[in-house]
């Protein structure tokens, strides 16, 4: 095991067996992305909460750096959330549900675009925004990473990365009790869909490649999200991060992920046909199948 592999496992609290699975399934990505280009390759990773997006992004960056001396930057769409104050203002002006982070309309897309453009230019130091979920707000700029010079690969991962909007007819019926009880007139879901159809598509159009980690169903997302929360609690206990509130109970997680159900289910239906690399997961988050899109000229 190489030093980079050991560090990767330690960062992500993974067993050694992860490397065997990663080599089997993700070596095709490392091989495809190892060739330097005139401009940075921009790769999107889509997957529901807890599907392993950030782990895959870290693995690709680690292996491309160690094996091929490539400079890779991993960005999370989560780190471009609007501040808590901005979301509170949005909630008062448009719809109360927009105070909850996550859905299209709650990200600072101009900031994401300018960050990526700065990385592409490589002529100045780029500040990489970071969001602290334990306090539901952005970290101060003094605590953010900085990247100087050019990079070879930019990875953007997020639960709705690459997602497409729905038609007006598809928005009519609520998909869960949250929409039925808190968005009976459809104002929130229409606002979210409008945001997704607008500036988010400008962001996603920058992607050269789209990887999808396809969950078997939305029902599995609750268990995966619960595991994420338990990992955060463990990190708090070990002193890796400070306790600042924001830890959710199982009931709170269930309410929280209901905000994501509509777009998640829509993506599970339509995205597999157009993803460049599709990984189908089982309920235990193990990869059961892989396929790649064949582009005909």
d(CA 110, CA 203): 9
For 253-280, b/e burial (b = at least 16 CB within 10 A) is beebbbbbbbbbbbbbeebeeebbbbbb
The answer to whether residues 276 and 292 touch, using CB atoms and an 8 Å cutoff, is yes
Q: What tokens does 291 get?
A: 């396929």
Number of CB atoms found within 10 A of residue 187's CB: 14
Distance CA 158, CA 83 (A): 18
pLDDT tens for the chain, 297 residues long, are 899 999 999 999 899 999 999 999 999 999 999 998 999 999 999 999 889 999 999 999 999 999 999 999 999 999 999 999 999 999 999 999 999 999 999 999 999 999 999 999 988 899 999 998 878 899 988 899 999 989 999 999 999 999 999 999 999 999 999 999 999 999 999 999 999 999 999 999 999 999 999 999 998 988 888 877 777 666 666 665 555 455 677 788 888 899 999 999 999 999 999 999 999 999 988 999 999 987 655
Number of helices (H) and strands (E), helices first, in the chain?
Answer: 11, 10
Partners of 74 in the beta sheet? 155
In the prediction, which pLDDT does 253 show?
84
CATH numbers and ranges of domains, the chain: 3-284 (3.40.50.300)
| pLDDT at residue number 1 | 86
What does the pLDDT read at residue 246? 57
Bridging pattern class, strands 41-47 and 153-158:
parallel
Give the pLDDT of residue 227.
79
pLDDT at site 237: 67
Q: For position 296, what pLDDT does the model report?
A: 56
């Amino acid at each position: 095991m190489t030093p980079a592999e050991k560090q990767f496992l330690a960062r992500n609290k993974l067993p050694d067996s992860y490397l065997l699975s990663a080599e089997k399934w993700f070596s095709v990505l490392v091989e495809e992305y190892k060739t330097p280009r005139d401009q940075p390759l921009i790769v999107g990773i889509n997957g529901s909460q807890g599907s392993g997006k950030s782990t895959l992004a870290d693995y690709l960056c680690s292996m491309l750096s160690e094996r091929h001396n490539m400079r890779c930057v991993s960005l999370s769409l989560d780190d471009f959330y609007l501040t808590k104050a901005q979301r509170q203002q949005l909630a008062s002006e448009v719809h109360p549900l927009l105070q909850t982070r996550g859905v299209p309309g709650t990200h600072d897309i101009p900031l994401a675009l300018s960050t990526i453009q700065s990385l592409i230019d490589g002529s100045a130091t780029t500040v990489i925004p970071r969001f602290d979920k334990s306090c539901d707000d952005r970290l101060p700029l003094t605590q953010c990473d900085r990247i100087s010079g050019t990079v070879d690969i930019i990875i953007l991962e997020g639960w709705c990365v690459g997602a497409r909007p729905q038609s007006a007819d598809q928005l009519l019926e609520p998909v869960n009790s949250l929409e039925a009880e808190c968005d009976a007139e459809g104002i929130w879901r229409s606002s979210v869909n409008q945001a997704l159809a607008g500036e988010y598509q400008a962001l996603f159009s920058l992607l050269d490649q789209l990887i999808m980690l396809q969950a078997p169903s939305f029902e599995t997302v609750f268990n995966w999200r619960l595991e994420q929360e338990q990992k955060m609690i463990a990190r708090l206990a070990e002193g890796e991060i400070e306790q600042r509130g924001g830890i959710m109970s199982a009931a709170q997680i269930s309410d929280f992920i209901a905000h994501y159900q509509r777009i998640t289910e829509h993506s599970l239906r339509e995205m597999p046909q157009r993803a460049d690399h599709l990984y189908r997961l089982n309920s235990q988050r193990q990869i059961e199948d892989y396929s790649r899109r064949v582009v005909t000229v």
